[in-house]
Amino acid sequence: MLVFKFGGASVKDAAGIINLGKIVNKYSGTPLLIVVSAMGKTTNALEKLTDAYVNGSDELHPIFEEIKNYHYHLLEELFEAGHSVFDEVANTFVEIDWMIEDEPHDDYDFIYDQLVSVGELVSTRIVNAWLNQQGMVSKWLDVRGYIHTDNTYREGLVDWDKTRESIQKDIPYLLSKNIVVTQGFLGGTSENFTTTLGREGSDYTASIFAACLGAESVTTWKDVPGILNADPKYFNDTVKFDELSYQEAIEMTYYGASVIHPKTIKPLQNAGIPLMVKPFFEPDAAGTVIKQNAVNNFVKPVIIVKHDQALLSISTTDYSFISETHLSEIFGIFAATNIKVNVMEISALSFTACVDFYTERFEKVILILKESFKVRYNNDLTLMTIRHYTDPALAELTKGKTILLQQTNRNTVHRVFK
C-alpha cells in the first residue's frame, strides 16, 4: 500500500483539488491512504483567529467569516448546491463557534490546538467528497482516534504502542475497500482533546501511518520539483537532489529545512520505507527520493534559513562558572516550557542558546530563568545553517550581516544574525 501526503499549497483552490483527484486516479486499484493539510494559508488564518480570541479582539468574527467564506467559495466551484459536503463543512466550523462563545482557557497552546485543527478537518471533508464525486470510493477518517498523543499541546508526543494498535486494527480492512482520506498534523489525547504534532506536521502523520502499516513508500506532493539545496524564495540558481540519505535529510530538517517536518524521517528509516518528494503539477517527474543507501551529490552547499529566532544569554547571579548543575537546571526549564534549542555555546560565565521564538513560551521561560539566573536576549533574529560549505560561499552568504553567534565544524556552519 501507498501513503500520499498533500500539503496546503496543493489544495489551496479548486484547480488543486481537481489535480489531486487526477493524481489519485492514476493509482486506482492500489491501496492508498491520503493525508491532507489545511487548505492554502488556512493555518495562518486560524492562528490569527486564535490570537484574536485570546486577546478579546474585535477582529475575531471578521477573521472567522473570512475563513469560512474562503472554503464556501471553493465548495461552490466544485459541487452543486445541496451536496452533503456543504453541511459537513458547516458542522465542522460549528466547533469553532462553540469554543469562542466561552471565555478562553488559561493554556494558550491548548486553545491553539482546538481551533487550528479545524483547518485539516474541513480540508479533508472537501477532498473526500470530491474523490467520491469523481467515482473513486473514498472514506473520511478522523485521525484523532488513531494517532494517540500525550497532553503536550502544539507538539504532541506520540504513544507509539497505542497508535500502532489502533491503526493496525482498523485501517488494513478499510484500505481493502476504500481510499482512506485523513488529516495531517493532528492527534488526540486520552481525554478526547485535540493535539497538534508541530507546525507543518502532516509529513510526520504520513510517516506514522506508513510505519505502522508497512507501506511500500510515502510520497509527499509539493509545489517544488523535489528537495532543493536552498529555498527558491530566498536564493537563485537552486539545484535539486535526485536522492538523499536518511541521515542527510534528518540533518537538514533538524535545522529548519521546511520541505519536510523534522520528525518525519526516523519512523521511515526504522522501517526502511523510502520517502519521495514529488512536484504536484508534474506528477510523472522523478522528484527526490530519500532512502537508506542514497548517493549524496552536493554540487552546491545546502543552505537552510530559519526565521523567528531568539538568542538567550544566561549567566549566574554571583559570577560563578557555568557548571553541569546549572546546565541541568537550564535544560530542565527548557523541557518544561517546550523550548527547542537549535544552536548553543558555553563559556566560563555564560550559556548562550539560539531558540525558536514563540511569544507565550518565551515569556514564560524568561520569567522562570530569572528566578535563578541573569538573562539577556535578542529576538527577531535569523539562523542560517550551511552544510557542505565552501569558504567562498560562506563569505558571500554572510556578507554585510551582523553576526551574533557562529559555529563551524567539519561539515556544517551556523550563523545567527540580525
Phi, psi dihedrals of residue 17, rounded to the nearest 5°: -70, -40
Q: Which one of 291, 326, 344 terminates a domain?
A: 291
Give the type of residue at 272.
G
Band of residue 188 on the pLDDT scale cut at 50, 70, 90: very high
My answer on whether 44 and 149 are in the same domain is: yes
pLDDT tens digits, 24-68: 999 999 999 999 999 999 999 999 999 999 999 999 999 999 999
| pLDDT score of 258 more than 80 | no
What percent of the chain has pLDDT above 90? 86
**117 and 234 together in one domain:** yes
Whether the per-residue pLDDT at 18 is higher than 80: the answer is yes
pLDDT in tens, 280-316: 999 999 999 999 989 878 889 999 999 999 999 999 9
* Residue at a domain's end among 241, 266, 291: 291
Query: Which cell numbers hold the place of 321?
Result: 562558572
Q: Are 71 and 142 found together in one domain?
A: yes
Whose CA is closest to 186, among 135, 142, 246?
142
Give domain status of residue 296, yes or no: no
Strand, coil or helix: what is 405? Answer: strand
The whole-number pLDDT of residue 184 equals: 97
Asked whether residue 265 is assigned to any structural domain, the reply reads yes
Q: For 190, phi and psi rounded to 5 degrees?
A: -65, -20
For residues 352 and 345, the answer to whether their CB atoms sit within 8 Å is yes
DSSP 262: T
Query: 373 Cβ partners below 8 Å, 6+ apart?
Result: 314, 315, 316, 317, 326, 330
Distance from C-alpha of 115 to C-alpha of 120, rounded to nearest angstrom: 11
> Which CATH number goes with the domain that contains 113?
3.40.1160.10
387 with 380: CB under 8 angstroms? no
Domain that holds residue 30: 2-291
Q: What digits encode the pLDDT tens for the residues 364-402? A: 999 999 999 999 999 999 999 999 998 898 888 988 899
Same domain, 138 and 18: yes
Summarised one tens digit per residue, pLDDT across range 317-365 is 998 999 999 999 999 999 999 899 999 999 999 999 999 998 888 999 9
Put the strands of the sheet holding 138-141 in their side by side order: 138-141, 179-183, 32-36, 2-6, 217-222, 275-279, 288-291, 243-245
Q: 259 and 325, same structural domain?
A: no
CATH of the domain at 354: 3.30.2130.10
Residue 297 lies inside a defined structural domain of this protein = no
Query: What is the pTM for the complete model shown?
Result: 0.89
Assess whether 272 and 321 both reside in one domain. Answer: no
Same domain, 310 and 274: no
> Is residue 206 domain-resident?
yes
Output the nine-digit C-alpha cell for 201.
Answer: 506536521
CA 331 vs. chain centroid, Å, equals 24
Q: Are 399 and 264 within one domain?
A: no
User: Can you give the pLDDT at residue 299?
Assistant: 87
Question: 184 and 65: one domain?
Answer: yes
Looking at 291, 325, 358, which one is the last position of a domain?
Answer: 291
Are 17 and 127 in the same domain?
Answer: yes
* Rounded Cα distance, 67 and 49, in Å: 9
Residues 84 and 174 in one domain: yes
d(CA 355, CA 366): 12
- Does 30 reside within a domain? yes
Q: Are residues 229 and 319 in the same domain?
A: no
**89-128 confidence digits (pLDDT tens):** 999 999 999 999 999 988 999 999 999 999 999 999 999 9
Q: Name the domain count of the chain.
A: 2
Task: Using DSSP, state whether 122 is helix, strand or coil.
Answer: helix
| pLDDT tens, residue by residue, 165-184 | 999 999 999 999 999 999 99
- Report the pLDDT value the prediction gives residue 55, as an integer from 0 to 100: 95
